[in-house]
């Protein structure tokens, strides 16, 4: 007797299971070929690590800007996060990393293939992390259209750029405060809309560009314009560790890793796996997390009291609090969740006061305690 055909739901479950199994093998192989410092081995810098994890749980938070001294582990931590993330299902050989099951994450070409009844070949890939070099041109970032081929052959010949490669992944811009403003505008617009559109000589091509935008920089080398800084969902400030014993521990861990990366990875394998599983579960749970109405009102009251322009700060604070509650395994946001995330969400949106004798993050915490009547 012939077996009954599997439904689309069952096929998806099987595909995701295969992706997870294949991902473990790929990560193990890559751990030997291209060793990356484990995320769970990073000492200190809890604010930066929390902001990165929350953006992975809910990419709609809008990315994170990390500002701090040189040599404080910004790039190391960001690369460690990318190595920690699981595999995802993709349409095989698709240049835009289209999701074979979610129409919102498909390119137009893949959508048309699906409407035509074509069976999409499902593959897997590690969540991509793309570095954007400071000298990158707009064509390299957005992609280019081959006008000659379009005119002679009548086809839309498109050469994908870094935004296409970063779709469904992380786009990392080191020294973002040194990047040309027009490129920053392009990145932030794409990150906000989830799409990249390239137009040339009357030809227009769009493709999905949903990525987590992560920028880092040293404040001594210049600041971003306020209107651009406001577009980052969160802002983490990190500093050089002052405790001598902690500094010795950091140096020791780094030396051990450099001497034998494979053994170092084995030491943290269990913690890495546990954190990966926790992130995966949080992403699934996020849709069910609720935030009480009175908390939402108080978040908006804090933004109003601090004279935060627009409502982006309100939106991001709500999203970040829900992501943290989900990460902690709860279905409802607690006051402590808001207290932990709201400085990250608002400190970069406050107007600068040259006479202020208090850090912006501390200002946010002070107003939070007033509004929530905390001691």
247 labelled catalytic: no
Q: Which positions ≥6 away from 59 have C-beta within 8 Å? A: 210, 211, 212
CB 83 within 8 Å of CB 265: no
Q: Given the structure tokens 């379009």, which residue do they identify?
A: 150
Q: Which of 312, 319, 340, 347 does the annotation list as catalytic?
A: 312
Q: Which positions ≥6 away from 353 have C-beta within 8 Å? A: none
Smallest Cα–Cα separation from 61: which of 202, 211, 246, 200?
Answer: 211
Q: Which positions ≥6 away from 55 have C-beta within 8 Å? A: 61, 62, 63, 64, 212, 214, 233, 234
> Which residues make beta-bridge pairs with 374?
none
Smallest Cα–Cα separation from 285: which of 334, 328, 223, 346?
Answer: 328
CB 162 within 8 Å of CB 116: no
The residues carrying an active-site annotation are 312
């Amino acid at each position: 007797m012939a077996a009954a055909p599997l439904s689309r739901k069952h096929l998806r479950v099987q595909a995701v299971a295969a992706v997870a199994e294949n991902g473990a093998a790929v990560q193990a192989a890559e751990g030997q070929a291209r060793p990356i410092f484990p995320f769970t081995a990073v000492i200190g810098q809890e604010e930066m690590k929390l902001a990165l994890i929350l953006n992975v749980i809910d990419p709609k938070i809008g990315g994170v800007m990390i500002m701090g001294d040189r040599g404080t582990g910004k790039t190391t931590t960001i690369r460690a996060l990318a190595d920690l993330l699981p595999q995802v299902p993709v349409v095989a050989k698709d240049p835009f990393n289209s999701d074979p099951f979610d129409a919102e994450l498909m390119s137009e070409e893949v959508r048309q293939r699906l409407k035509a009844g074509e069976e999409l070949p499902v593959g897997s890939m590690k969540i991509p992390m793309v570095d954007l070099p400071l000298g990158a041109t707009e064509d390299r970032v957005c992609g280019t259209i081959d006008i000659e081929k379009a005119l002679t052959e009548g086809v839309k010949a498109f050469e994908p750029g870094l935004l296409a490669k970063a779709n469904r992944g992380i786009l990392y811009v080191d020294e973002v405060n040194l990047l040309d403003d027009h490129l920053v505008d392009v990145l932030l617009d794409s990150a906000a809309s989830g799409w990249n559109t390239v137009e040339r000589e009357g030809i227009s091509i769009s493709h999905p560009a949903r990525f987590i935008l992560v920028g880092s920089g040293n404040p001594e080398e210049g600041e971003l314009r306020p209107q651009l800084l406001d577009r980052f969902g969160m802002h983490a400030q990190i500093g050089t560790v002052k405790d001598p014993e902690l500094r010795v521990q950091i140096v020791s861990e780094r030396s051990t890793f450099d001497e034998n990366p494979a053994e170092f990875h084995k030491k943290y394998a269990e913690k890495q796996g546990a954190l990966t599983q926790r992130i995966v579960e949080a992403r699934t749970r996020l849709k069910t997390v609720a935030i009480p109405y009175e908390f939402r009102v108080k978040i908006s009251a804090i933004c109003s009291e601090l004279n935060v322009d627009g409502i982006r700060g309100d939106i991001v604070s709500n999203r970040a609090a829900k992501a943290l509650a989900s990460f902690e395994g709860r279905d409802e946001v607690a006051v402590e969740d808001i207290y932990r995330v709201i400085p990250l969400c608002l400190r970069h949106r406050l107007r600068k006061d040259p006479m202020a004798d208090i850090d912006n993050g501390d200002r946010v915490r002070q107003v939070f305690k007033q509004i929530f009547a905390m001691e």
